[in-house]
Structure 1
């Protein structure tokens, strides 16, 4: 897939080369406004490990919560209805694969892991970032990055990455996974992979847990 990329093969990818991200970014505070009521009752938001058994190793316990909107062509109508502006904005991002609010409680540690394919990019739009003391950062392939509210962090998930929130505050981002801009051959291969994963037990488990359709 790296040889089919139209934007190079860097670990950290400039947000401006990913279609749709620049148009969404100015609305980050309005997206955060829709997130805030959910955070006030976040004990009801499931952990990623509960939603997806495949993620139990990296998301044990209740520290990493995930409020899913869309994934692999499936959608949670109930969650989208709770956040209508966010729902409208993510619909305008080309090549969307996955969209959810990723919420990490104080004390979260996600151990080193890597993703499946270079066909997609992980895009974080930080909405709540701890301002007090304590470590809150992500290591992507040996490059240490900090989130900044309202500024995209985009990276290639096939690089090993590890996350810490050792602060006393939560960290919340709008997490989008989008298709990497690629040549026609690369897009075709990525499309086949998308369909294979869409019908896999991994995705079917998530679909069932969040009541998506």
Structure 2
């Protein structure tokens, strides 16, 4: 049974916080969102791992093989977290995310996306990068850092072509609310365990604790039958050459 929403202990965003406003979306992005539902219905029928909101990590090759490295990854990011004010907010570097990342509370330390690598970031986290290299079909990889008071409003992603995979590296130790709702089911992250879900289902995130939450966030190609695989590859190349990826590349110096 789904759990009811609980009251937050920390205000979502201070009234004087820096804000990011999403610009008018480009025509290609708007067209893609209009086509999202019919295309995803077709892709759901092509999936080799079913169409549930939450997916067993064992169905995604490579994930469980690297999960045991989470403590080493956590140790590796400790220096980054001591200087995390320098890590850019997601809303600053990705204008298309500004509806759900409108303040500096959600930071992102990118390793790779759509075939482009951020070498200076990868050089700082060789253990994490080596683990990522052992997972087939990674489309996007970054550290998702949510400061105390972060709230990501209910939203859904673009495509069933890939799955969202979270490996928690730092979780708050206090009793504040730190969780994700996926298709209205409340889920907590657990140390050393992947959480895999289909981002086309509505989801919402809170960190109302007093400590940061850090997950290694991967988007990994969903295993598909031939027609779905070909459609996903076409979408991958379209997004790779879109302004959506171009804006992020400019922001991270690629």
Gaps of 5+ in 2: 1-42
Q: CA deviation at 1:85?
A: 1.4
Following the alignment from structure 1 to structure 2, what is the Cα–Cα distance between the partners of residues 183 and 78?
36
Q: CA deviation at 1:202?
A: 0.6
Specify the alignment match of 1:42 in structure 2: 84
Q: Quick one: which of 164, 173, 183 aligns to 2:215?
A: 173
Q: Quick one: which of 121, 132, 136 aligns to 1:90?
A: 132
Following the alignment from structure 2 to structure 1, what is the Cα–Cα distance between the partners of residues 73 and 182?
26
SS in 2 for 1:67: strand
Q: CA deviation at 1:152?
A: 0.5
Matches within 5 A, 1:126-165: 126-165=168-207
Following the alignment from structure 1 to structure 2, what is the Cα–Cα distance between the partners of residues 90 and 133?
31
Q: CA deviation at 1:195?
A: 0.2
Q: Does 1:112 align with 2:154?
A: yes
Cα RMSD of the aligned pairs, angstroms, is 0.7
- Normalised TM-score (structure 1): 0.98
Specify the alignment match of 2:249 in structure 1: 207
- Normalised TM-score (structure 2): 0.82
Q: Does 1:103 align with 2:158?
A: no
1:55-103, CA deviations, whole angstroms, 9 ceiling, x for partnerless residues?
1111111100000000011110000001111111111210100000000
Q: CA deviation at 1:131?
A: 1.7
Following the alignment from structure 1 to structure 2, what is the Cα–Cα distance between the partners of residues 108 and 144?
16
Following the alignment from structure 1 to structure 2, what is the Cα–Cα distance between the partners of residues 206 and 193?
18
Gaps of 5+ in 1: none
Q: Quick one: which of 81, 84, 97 aligns to 2:123?
A: 81
Q: Does 1:28 align with 2:63?
A: no
SS in 2 for 1:124: strand
1:165-208, CA deviations, whole angstroms, 9 ceiling, x for partnerless residues?
01101100000000011111111110000000001101000011
Structure of greater Rg? 2
Paired residues, what number?
212
1:119-145, CA deviations, whole angstroms, 9 ceiling, x for partnerless residues?
110000001111212111100111110
Following the alignment from structure 1 to structure 2, what is the Cα–Cα distance between the partners of residues 66 and 25?
21
Following the alignment from structure 1 to structure 2, what is the Cα–Cα distance between the partners of residues 211 and 13?
34
Q: Quick one: which of 66, 70, 75 aligns to 2:108?
A: 66
